Structure 1
Amino acid sequence: MDDERTVRFETVYRETYSRITAYAVRRCGSPQDAADVVAETFTVAWRRIEEVPPGHEALLWLYGVARRVLANHRRGEERRQTRNAELDAELADLYGTSPDSGVELTAIAQVFRTLSGDDRELLSLVAWEGLDREEIATTLSLSRNAVRIRLHRARRRFARALAEADVRFTAESRLVPVERSL
Structure 2
Amino acid sequence: MTEQEARRMQQARFERLARVVVEPLHRYLLRRTSADMVDDVLSETMVVLWRRIDEVPGLGEGAEPDPGDVLPWCYGVARGCLANARRADGRRIRLVERLIRSHEQSPDRAADHGELHAALDALAAQDREVLQLWAWEGLAPRQIAEATGLTANAVSIRLHRAKKKIAAQLGRKDAEPTGHKRDEGRSSQ
The TM-score by the shorter chain falls in which range? 0.3 to 0.5
The structure with the largest alpha-carbon Rg is 2
Higher relative contact order (CA 8 A, sep 6+): 1
Q: What TM-score comes out, normalization by structure 1 length?
A: 0.42
Q: What TM-score comes out, normalization by structure 2 length?
A: 0.40
